[in-house]
């Protein structure tokens, strides 16, 4: 009888040690969660290289099936083209600044998604998903293990159209308010990344309108920041940041976030 009890106890301890090793999660107060939202340049389309697969013990990502694993690119899974985005370099910059924290990245960007799909019930046909609803569900799941510290947003290209650009600013302000309300953080930092400025793909008036909306919202909405894309380069498609530029953009997101915290 005693032998059986000891065996059960040993199995219980072993299984818990295994669970801990698999998840490798810190204390909740030290686990800082960031939601990655928007469209393809947040999801990442840079070429995956050897650096993409390097693991940092304090940078994790939430998989499609809601498992915490070490963060490697591609972090997103919205489309088969997913590659290197700004998320991992953002997280690496933060853990370098604070050795007491672990960063958890929650991928939620959907390539090609206009801002109208980022509302309750919104559906995006390209990814066969509900961008806003899915983002909220995944963020809430992640918040069981850590604290939500901010949202990284990169979106707008799909709204640079005649009947969409003019209303973009109002929609973005509503989106930020909705995110904060639904996630229970009225002052949640919201970081707005600037669309790519590529000589090979000059901006028209509609893109300029959306860009100005990004700037204005960052200035007028509390705890929001604008992250510039000056000097960054694109892939041959003239739309998406290349690997090096995607990583640089992530570092700029980190700098903007740290400035907000000050």
| Catalytically annotated residues | 40, 237, 240
What's the order of all strands across the beta sheet hosting 59-62? 68-70, 59-62, 102-107, 31-38, 147-154, 190-193, 224-227
Distance from C-alpha of 54 to C-alpha of 23, rounded to nearest angstrom:
18
Cα-only R_g, the chain: 20
* Assigned token pair, 120: 């309750």
Establish whether the linkage from the previous residue to 74 is cis, with ω within 30° of 0.
Answer: yes
* Assigned token pair, 86: 């700004």
CA-based nearest residue to 175, from 206, 214, 125, 126: 214
C-beta of residue 71 within 8 angstroms of C-beta of residue 61: yes
What single string gives the DSSP state of each residue in 224-237? EEEE--TT--B-TT
């Amino acid at each position: 009888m005693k032998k059986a009890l000891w065996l059960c106890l040993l199995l219980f301890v072993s299984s818990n040690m295994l669970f801990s090793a698999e998840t490798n999660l810190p204390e909740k107060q030290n686990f800082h969660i960031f939601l990655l939202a928007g469209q393809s340049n947040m999801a990442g389309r840079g070429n995956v290289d050897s650096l993409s697969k390097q693991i940092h013990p304090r940078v994790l990502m939430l998989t499609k099936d809601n498992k915490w694993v070490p963060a490697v690119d591609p972090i997103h899974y919205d489309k088969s083209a997913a590659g290197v985005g700004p998320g991992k370099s953002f997280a690496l910059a933060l853990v370098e600044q604070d050795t007491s924290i672990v960063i958890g990245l929650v991928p939620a960007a959907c390539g090609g998604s206009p801002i109208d799909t980022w509302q309750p019930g919104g559906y995006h046909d390209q990814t066969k998903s509900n961008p806003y609803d899915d983002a909220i569900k995944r963020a809430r799941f992640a918040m069981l293990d850590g604290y939500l510290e901010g949202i990284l947003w990169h979106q707008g290209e799909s709204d640079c159209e005649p009947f969409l650009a003019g209303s973009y600013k109002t929609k973005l302000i509503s989106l930020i308010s909705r995110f904060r309300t639904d996630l229970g953080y009225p002052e949640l930092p919201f970081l707005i990344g600037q669309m790519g400025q590529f000589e090979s793909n000059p901006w028209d008036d509609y893109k300029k309108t959306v860009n100005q909306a990004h700037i204005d919202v960052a200035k007028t909405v509390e705890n929001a920041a604008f992250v510039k894309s000056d000097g960054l380069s694109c892939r041959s498609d003239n739309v998406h940041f290349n690997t090096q530029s995607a990583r640089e953009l992530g570092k700029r997101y980190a700098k903007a976030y740290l400035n907000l915290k000050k």
